[in-house]
Amino acid sequence: MTKKRLFILKLLLPVIALLGAFYFPALAMADGFAKPWQMVQQASASPVQTRLIDFHTMIFYIITGVAVFVTILLVYVMIRFSAKNNPVPSKNTHNVALEFFWTLIPVVILVIIAIPSLSLLKYMDRVENADMTLKVTGYQWYWGYEYPDHDGLSFTSYMIPDNELKEGQKRLLETDNLIVLPVDTNVRVLITSGDVIHAWAVPSLGVKLDAVPGRLNETWLRIDKEGKYYGQCSELCGKDHAFMPIAIKAVSKEEFKLWLNRAKVEFGAVNDNNESGIELAQAGGY
Ligand SMILES: [Cu+2]
């Protein structure tokens, strides 16, 4: 190997190492929200997001391989066939075998990507056995939520402005009314809009779907562990597009029942003299 080629190879190695280091998920994973300088996806809290991350990892290795191969090939051609090293150029214009393989190999790579990609799309599309339903409606500029299986409990969710944030609350992500959902439950999510197109997106749960007026889009989520998960409207929808966040609190199934009792009273889904509901809620510390 000539000195020049060795020098180029030495230049490439740190670039590859750097890419690998930035990719390493443990460096940047945060729970339910993005942190400054985060380079990769948020930590997964749902089976859909886990599969999305695995798919991303697979593609990452493929594109890294392709990019490295093409770079090495280009550098080789630039040196080997320069005017100095190759003063009399070849006059070949065709090479059937070469043309066959440089068409076939990319096709094979695309098929290798397409098969898991389509199966993942189908997996994300809907869940066979939904335990409950959450209906989401986008408005300019807030979200409306409905629990059709729970006496039609419904409420709206507005962002908490900067000057009303409490200690530890996240700027531009916190809402006045949280979506509360039980963990380990298949939740069918129906998404629509009351005015313009919005998109309901929660990165750590692997959900991002357009809210389109006059259409009911369906997806699903299943939260693996208790905690708070944040998202934002992800379709430009007007002047306050950046100020209609999504905040989900995932709780145990028992705690979810207690919250339902309290929420039904608070948001008027049942009439106010539902004493047992209030007592149950108070017993749960709500
Ligand atoms: Cu929006």
| Assigned token pair, 55 | 């798919």
**C-alpha of residue 138 to centroid of ligand 1, in Å:** 6
Distance 242 CA to ligand 1 centre (A): 8
Between the CA of 169 and the centroid of ligand 1 the distance, in Å, is: 22
Distance from the alpha carbon of residue 210 to the mean position of ligand 1, in angstroms: 9
Residues 6+ apart with CB under 8 A from 152: 146, 269
Contacts of 53 (CB under 8 A, 6+ apart): 25, 41, 44
What is d(CA 237, CA 251) in angstroms, rounded to the nearest whole number? Answer: 31
What does the pLDDT look like over 198-220, one tens digit per residue? 999 999 999 999 999 999 999 99
At 16 the three-state DSSP class reads helix
Helix (H) or strand (E) holding 100: helix 96-125
State in Å: Cα 152 to ligand 1 middle: 23
Report the top-level CATH class of 132-283: mainly beta
Question: With the CA atoms of 268, 274, 280 and 281 taken in that order, what torsion angle do they form, in degrees rounded to the nearest 10?
Answer: 20
Kindly report the CATH class assigned to 3-125.
mainly alpha
pLDDT of residue 27: 45
pLDDT of residue 235: 96
Q: Tally the residues of the chain.
A: 286
pLDDT in tens, 19-37: 655 555 444 455 788 888 8
- Residue pLDDT tens, the chain, 286 long: 566 766 666 667 666 655 655 555 444 455 788 888 888 889 999 999 999 999 999 999 999 999 999 999 999 999 999 999 999 998 989 999 999 999 999 999 999 999 999 999 999 998 888 999 999 999 999 999 999 999 989 999 999 999 999 988 999 999 999 999 999 999 999 999 999 999 999 999 999 999 999 999 999 999 999 999 999 999 999 999 999 999 999 999 999 999 999 999 999 876 555 554 455 455 555 4
What is the reported pTM? 0.78
| Domain residue ranges of the chain, discontinuous segments joined by + | 3-125, 132-283
Q: How far is the CA of 258 from the centre of ligand 1 (A)?
A: 31
Q: Are strands 187-193 and 227-233 parallel, antiparallel or unpaired?
A: unpaired
Q: How far is the CA of 92 from the centre of ligand 1 (A)?
A: 57
